[in-house]
Amino acid sequence: MDWKLLLSTFTAIFVAELGDKTQLATLSFAAGGKSRWVVFLGAALALVSTSAIATLGGEMVARLVPPIWIRRGAGLIFVAMGLLFLVGKGE
């Protein structure tokens, strides 16, 4: 097993998910629901499902596009989004 890849993936996803709308929705369901374990199971299944779709999609894209271009494209998208947020009107 590639422990470095596992740890970097876990860390990136964990940090990215902190305080996002998914976590806030889960918090809301848990606060208003009768069974927090059912909320946990539903949220966990949803996150596993979306991760499976992303992993399969990434594998298919990697067959067509070299990984260096995928990283460069992702980097450009993040930079563009950051610039849009910086120069946006904040509305």
pLDDT digits (tens, 9 = 90+) for 30-85: 998 789 999 999 999 999 999 999 999 989 999 999 989 988 998 999 899 889 88
Kindly list the distances between the CA atom of residue 66 and the CA atoms of 12, 54, 56, in Å, as whole numbers in the listed order: 22, 17, 16
Q: Which one, of 73, 7, 16, lies nearest residue 47 by Cα?
A: 16
Structure tokens of 91?
Answer: 């509305």
Structure tokens of 5?
Answer: 């890849």
Rounded Cα–Cα distance for residues 77 and 66 (Å)? 17
**pLDDT for 8-25, tens place per residue?**
999 988 888 887 888 889
Mention every residue, 6+ apart, whose C-beta is less than 8 A from residue 87: none
